[in-house]
Amino acid sequence: MSTVDKMLIKGIRSFDPENKNVITFFKPLTLIVGPNGAGKTTIIECLKLSCTGELPPNARSGQSFIHDPKVAGETETKAQIKLRFKTAAGKDVVCIRSFQLTQKASKMEYKAIESVLQTINPNTGEKVCLSYRCADMDREIPALMGVSKAILENVIFVHQDEANWPLQDPSTLKKKFDDIFSATRFCAIKAIC
Ligand SMILES: Nc1ncnc2c1ncn2[C@@H]1O[C@H](COP(=O)(O)OP(=O)(O)OP(=O)(O)O)[C@@H](O)[C@H]1O
């Protein structure tokens, strides 16, 4: 079974860009407790983004997900999420995703600037790069974890704003079930008697 070990968050929502906030996850369970606005949802959002590449539903294409530079009187925030997990095969893997939010003349500009997926050689401790491309990482991480992207997005790290999807309209529900059960990978067979 794959396990999430540690996550570093810098410059995401209320997480300060100047400090390295590290969350360590414990076995068999980690409870995240805190007052309203403390950042509990942000932790789940960062786990989901790290594993699937998907921004939260209320992120305004990334702009409201990155710590607002105006809070510190700056014009730019550099943000990073670093996730360390063990694959289903027991290998240590690190995923690093970096972002930037810049105040331009009339609007804020969000950019995903670099990403890297590394594995750690257990004998030497040396880091070996598996991928630099976001699209490859978004595919490779669920495969390394042994969990589909649809399960990570809709079940394990489901966002609180989207948690009622089982009660949504029939077409949304069908699409989610098709994704979860990979129905689109199989051709439909209908028997007529
Ligand atoms: N772009 C941003 N820049 C700076 N701070 C932000 C930004 N977006 C959101 N915040 C702050 O981040 C915090 C978001 O917290 P989050 O929703 O993760 O908290 P929570 O612990 O899940 O709260 P609740 O219990 O109310 O669900 C809030 O305090 C909000 O004001």
CA of 17 to the centre of ligand 1 (A): 14
In the numeric block, which tokens belong to residue 50?
Answer: 């790290």
Nearest CA to ligand 1 atom 29: 37
Q: Which residues line ligand 1 (CB under 6 A)?
A: 13-14, 34, 36-42, 64, 67-68, 71
Count up the domains in the chain and report the number: 1
Residue 177 in domain: no
- Residue 94 sits in a domain of what CATH number? 3.40.50
- Note the pLDDT of residue 71: 93
For residue 140, being part of any structural domain is answered with yes
Q: Which residue has a Cα nearest atom 28 of ligand 1?
A: 37
Helices in the chain by DSSP H: which ranges? 40-52, 134-145, 149-151, 170-180
Confidence at residue 188, expressed as pLDDT on a 0 to 100 scale: 56
The helix (run of H) or strand (run of E) holding residue 5 is: strand 3-10
Closest residue by Cα to atom 18, ligand 1, is 39
Give the per-residue pLDDT at 13: 97
How do the pLDDT tens digits run along the chain, 193 residues long? 899 999 999 999 999 999 989 999 998 899 999 999 999 999 999 999 999 999 999 899 999 999 999 998 999 999 999 999 999 899 999 999 999 999 998 899 999 999 999 998 888 888 899 988 888 999 999 999 999 999 999 999 999 899 999 999 999 999 999 999 876 666 555 566 6
Residue 136 belongs to a domain: yes
> Is 141 among the domain residues?
yes
Please check whether residue 108 lies inside any domain of the structure.
yes
Instruction: Tell me the CA–centroid distance for residue 151 and ligand 1, in Å.
Output: 25
According to the model, what pLDDT value does residue 182 have? 79
Does 152 reside within a domain?
no
* pLDDT value, residue 191: 61
How confident is the model at residue 121, as a pLDDT?
A: 86
Domain carrying residue 56? 3-145
Q: How many residues does the chain have?
A: 193
* pLDDT score for 148: 94
Cα of 12 from ligand 1 centre, angstroms: 9
Out of 14, 45, 48, 61, mutate this one to test ligand 1's pocket (max ligand atoms within 8 Å of CB): namely 14
Run of H or E including 127:
strand 127-131
Angle between the 134-145 and 40-52 helix axes, to the nearest 10 degrees? 100
Give the pTM: 0.91
| Residue 127, domain member (yes or no) | yes
- The answer to the question of residue 169 being in a domain is no
